[in-house]
Amino acid sequence: MSLVEYSEFLIKNLVDDPDLIKVKDFETEEGLIIEILVSENDMSQVIGKGGKVANSIKTLIQTKAFLSNIKNVKINIDSF
């Protein structure tokens, strides 16, 4: 399972409308960037109280990247 598929799996299980989730990855000189886009209505569920859910999501994705020997992964969560 790639990082994009893993990220989609995590986010789709949190939101009310999983069909609106978009996850893309970009390779840069500094490393890999995972961009997660969710609808404005689902943003509160993804961020969580005090950002705890978002931090947990980022930790899980970075752990998966570490286990897959992928270095320098940044995760951006945004709404559209």
- Mean of the pLDDT values across residues 9-20? 94
Tokens of 29: 């000189």
Q: What tens digit of pLDDT does each residue of 24-39 get? A: 999 999 899 999 999 9
pTM: 0.90
What ranges do the domains of the chain cover?
A: 3-79
3-79: CATH topology: GMP Synthetase; Chain A, domain 3 (3.30.300)
Q: What percent of the chain has pLDDT over 90?
A: 94
52: Cα within 13 Å, side-chain hemisphere? 3
Buried b (16+ CB within 10 A) or exposed e, 3-32: bbebbbebbeeebeeeeebebeeeeeeeeb
